[in-house]
DNA sequence: ATTAGCACTCTCATTGTGACAGTGCTAACC
DNA sequence: GGTTAGCACTGTCACAATGAGAGTGCTAAT
């Protein structure tokens, strides 16, 4: 627990540093005027704050810079709660209702809005049911031995796949088979479909097996393909500008599983989590902070909304934005789920 | 037309510069040994090449660097034709056949492969029929007044949209309506469906109108959402590493219409085009080169395969890769089109 | 036309310098 | 005891000077 004045000093340092990105001097804090003490006194307190790890200075005679621990303290105790302005929330909602699309498009919109309001990189993942069920099956012949299989799953998700048939068939035959299969398989999950398919005749089996594969693939993904927006903001951050830390992060974001940059799995739904710098578990993220929220019901459809930026980010605004957009996404999903 | 020797010198400079990224000196060229003349002679020729604009040097006493014009000459006259090795082509084909997916997945695969073999950024666009037709329509009720509309278009494309109905209906009623609509609308294009819809009763009209909108939206997009892979390679290029040129490009690639970085519209199908540095029309690309090919038939499904890198790129390998993958994509599309 | 020779030019890394910013400490003060 | 003025101290930063090195451009000889 810090004394009243030291808290003010820490708050001042962080406020100033967020605004200017320049180490802040004791004189600067004194000039803010709310403390009524001299720079020397502030220096004494700064020395103490530094001893306890809330701030550092890059070299002997530079101003002070908040440490990860300092940001954490600020977040926990000092930061004023912030909310997006009503008109701005209205604009956002309006845009969501404009888009007559599906979950994918909403997620794109959310990511874009988030990136632009926070001036940082935003990642939104599309919700997936942990146990997707088949809602409807459709098969269209492309060539005599090649068919397009369209599977509609719970939660307005549509998956398609080109299927190679061992023997040529007609569309009529397909239609008959699919009609039956729909009766048989509707509402089932991947493994159940796989079980049933073993007993079916050749053509039916091929279709059912492919369907089962689609469902299993869906299930094995805990989270959908993440949508990343606002890479440019990350690149223009003066403190990274082409540095090695950024390279590392880009590599993760471009890699197999970009979402691992964000600790989504550990989250409760409807709560918001902030990881500051070294608090992040993966090394590529140690110089960045992430603000993340999970939306949707854990049992059903669940996805994540997150922002990645430098530790020197406007946490208030970012948290407000992430929270709000996670809420919006949650409601959108709720309304369209089955 | 350059003399034999000057061509050799230009070729030597480019070869050396591609390999090392360092301005190349007359001595270096002499040491290659194929010319049998002294560095002084080479210097004379270099002065001439420079006068004609094929090379420059950054300052008085640095080696020579190829100019855009120099690269162009190299490309046109000097570059040995290259093809991907047979085993490598086999690996690629194998991977395509492994992916039992649809066009989107092939495009992703193509972009990833291209980025990784050329060590540069790759953009692949998904083919779109300029005049898409409706193949099949499916409507599933989510809520009593909200339905998921799934439209299957020509070329294995599936589009979906959540549709708000003015009045609640049952799935049975929907099924009956959709059965009829499928008969009515199959094989038609957007405007034709729009025409028909005007005459239909309420529920039918809503569905048909939404379908027409989907088709029109599809048509208005000349090219699909581009798939971009390998951003990291661009960032690690030593000559740009956080520079302003790169920023500009990233901004274009992140913007509304990233594909405008690539001059796709002007291309013939099955031809390959290279734009070197200043030959590019948009300013953000002036320091980069792009190699691009169009695949598919212009009348039907058409998309693009392209690579963006520094002007100092391995044109031989890049062209070979782009050409090959455009060919593969073309065949994949052909096989799955209707 | 080619070449050896050499002066010349420009870069780059290193060092030095002074201005400057801001601290840390000490001693005085309330 | 907490606060403050004063001042030495420490580090950065921008700039200039220096010398080594690389490679050219020119000239005169072959």
Concatenated DSSP letters for A21-47?
-S-B-HHHHHHH-SS---HHHHHHHHH
**CATH number for the domain that contains residue A39:** 1.10.10.10
Q: Measuring from the CA of residue A5 to each C1', which nucleotide is nearest?
A: D2
The whole-number Å distance from A55's CA to D5's C1' is 25
A4 CB-to-strand D distance under 7 Å:
no
My answer on whether A167 and A259 are in the same domain is: no
**Residues A215 and A247 occupy one common structural domain:** no
Predicted confidence at residue A337, as pLDDT, reads: 57
Report the distance separating Cα A145 and Cα A147, nearest Å. Answer: 7
**B156:A148 CB<8 A:** yes
Q: Are residues B120 and B151 in the same domain?
A: no
* Residue A196: CATH number of its domain: 3.30.390
* Residue B14 and residue B56 in one domain: yes
pLDDT by residue, tens only, chain A of 338 residues: 788 899 999 999 999 999 998 999 999 999 988 888 989 999 999 999 999 999 999 888 889 999 999 999 999 999 999 999 999 999 999 999 887 667 788 899 999 999 999 999 999 998 766 678 898 898 988 777 888 888 988 777 788 888 888 888 888 999 999 999 999 999 898 899 999 988 888 889 999 999 998 888 877 665 567 999 999 888 777 666 556 778 888 889 988 788 888 887 777 767 899 999 999 989 999 999 999 999 887 556 678 999 999 999 999 999 999 999 999 998 888 776 55
Are B118 and B69 in a shared domain? Answer: no
Strands B146-153 and B134-143: antiparallel
A109 and A138 assigned to the same domain: no
Contact B161 A235 (CB under 8 A): no
- Contact residues, chain B, for A160 at CB < 8 Å: 102, 156, 158
The reply to whether B313 and B233 lie within a common domain is: yes
Q: How many residues does chain A have?
A: 338
Total residue length of chain B: 338
What residues contact B130, with CB distance under 8 A and at least 6 apart?
B219, B222, B299, B300, B302
**Residue A125 and residue A230 in one domain:** yes
Judgement on whether residues A29 and A161 belong to the same structural domain of the protein: no
**For position A222, what pLDDT does the model report?**
55
- Of A78, A94, A114, which residue constitutes the final position of a domain? A78
Q: Which nucleotides of D are covered by protein (CB under 7 A)?
A: 3-6, 9-12, 21-27
The answer to whether the Cβ–Cβ distance between A251 and B232 falls below 8 Å is yes
Q: What is the pLDDT of residue B236?
A: 75
- The β-bridge relationship of strands B157-164 and B288-296 is unpaired
Spatial distance from the CA of B59 to the C1' of D19 (Å): 19
What's the pLDDT score for residue A324? 96
Structural domain tally of chain B?
Answer: 3
Give A229's contacts in chain B (Cβ within 8 Å): 254
Q: Which residues does chain B have within 8 Å of residue A335's beta carbon, measured at their own beta carbons?
A: 143, 146
Nearest chain B alpha carbon to A238: B242
Q: At what angle do helices A190-197 and A171-185 cross, to 10 degrees?
A: 120
Q: Shortest CB distance from A100 goes to which of B102, B150, B161? A: B161
Mean pLDDT by 10 residues, chain B (338 residues): 90 94 92 88 94 91 93 95 94 86 85 96 83 87 84 81 86 91 90 90 91 84 78 77 75 85 76 93 92 80 89 95 94 72
DSSP letter for each residue of A210-268: HHHHHHHHHHH-SS-PPEEE-HHHHHH-TTTTT-HHHHHHHHHHHSS-GGGGS--TTPP
Are A243 and A313 within one domain?
A: yes
**Could you list the protein residues whose CB lies below 7 A from any atom in strand C?**
A 23, 25-28, 39-40, 43, 46-47, 50, 57, 60-64; B 5, 36-38, 40-41, 44, 58-62
Bridge partners (DSSP) listed for residue B141:
B147
Cα-only R_g, chain A? 26
Asked if A338 and B142 come within 8 Å (Cβ–Cβ), the reply is yes
Place of tokens 């929330």: A89
* Strand C bases, protein C-beta under 7 A: 2-5, 8-11, 21-26
Containing B90, the helix (H) or strand (E) segment is helix B86-98
Q: Quick check: B335 and A101 CB within 8 A?
A: no
A328: containing domain: 86-129+223-336
Q: Do A142 and B230 touch (CB under 8 A)?
A: no
In angstroms, the CA B329 to CA B322 distance is 10
Residue B294 and residue B268 share a domain: yes
Shortest CA distance from B161: residue in chain A: A101
Considering only CB atoms, A161 lies closest to which of B100, B160, B232, namely B100
- Which residues in B lie closer than 8 A to residue A100 (C-beta atoms)? 161-164, 210
> What is the reported pLDDT for B298?
59
Tell me the C-alpha to C-alpha distance, in Å, between residue A178 and each of A78, A182, A184, B134: 62, 6, 9, 20
Q: Say how far A37 CA is from C30 C1', in Å.
A: 14
> Distance, angstroms, CA A34 to C1' D7?
27
Q: Within a 13 Å sphere around the CA of A177, how many CA atoms are in the beta-carbon half?
A: 21
Output the six-digit token pair for A81: 């709660």
Residues B176 and B56 occupy one common structural domain: no
| CA to C1' distance (Å), from A313 to D1 | 39
Contact B73, B2 (CB under 8 A): yes
Say what the alpha-carbon torsion angle B303, B309, B311, B317 is, to the nearest 10 degrees. Answer: -70
Of A148, A152, A160, the CB nearest to B140: A152
* Nucleotide C17 C1' to residue A313 CA (A): 38
């Amino acid at each position: 627990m810090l004394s009243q004045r030291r808290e003010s000093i820490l708050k001042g340092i962080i406020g100033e540093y967020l605004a200017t990105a320049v180490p802040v001097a004791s004189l600067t804090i004194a000039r803010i005027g709310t403390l009524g003490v001299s720079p020397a006194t502030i220096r004494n307190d700064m020395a103490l704050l530094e001893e306890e790890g809330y701030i550092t200075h890059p070299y002997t005679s530079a101003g002070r810079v908040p440490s990860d621990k300092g940001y954490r303290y600020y977040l926990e105790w000092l930061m004023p709660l912030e909310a997006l302005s009503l008109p701005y929330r209205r604009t956002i909602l309006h845009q969501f209702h404009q888009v007559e699309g599906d979950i994918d498009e909403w997620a794109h919109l959310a990511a874009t809005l988030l990136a632009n309001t926070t001036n940082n990189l935003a990642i939104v993942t599309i919700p997936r049911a942990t146990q997707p069920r088949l809602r409807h099956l459709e098969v269209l012949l492309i060539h005599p031995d090649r068919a397009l299989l369209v599977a509609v799953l719970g939660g307005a998700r549509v998956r398609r796949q080109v299927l190679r048939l061992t023997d040529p068939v007609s569309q009529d035959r397909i239609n008959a088979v699919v009609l039956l299969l729909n009766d048989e398989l509707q509402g089932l999950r991947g493994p159940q479909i796989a079980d049933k398919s073993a007993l079916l005749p050749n053509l039916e089996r091929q279709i059912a097996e492919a369907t089962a594969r689609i469902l299993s693939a869906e299930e094995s993904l805990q989270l959908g393909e993440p949508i990343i927006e606002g890479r440019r903001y990350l690149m223009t951050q003066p403190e990274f500008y082409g540095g090695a830390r950024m390279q590392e992060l880009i590599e993760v974001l471009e890699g197999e599983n970009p979402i691992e940059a964000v600790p989504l799995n550990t989250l409760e739904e409807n709560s918001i989590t902030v990881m500051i710098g070294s608090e992040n578990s993966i090394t590529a993220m140690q110089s960045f902070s992430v603000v993340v929220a999970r939306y949707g019901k854990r049992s059903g459809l669940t996805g994540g909304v997150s922002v990645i930026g430098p530790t020197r980010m406007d946490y208030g605004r970012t948290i407000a934005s992430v929270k709000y957009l996670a809420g919006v996404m949650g409601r959108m999903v709720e309304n369209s789920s089955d």
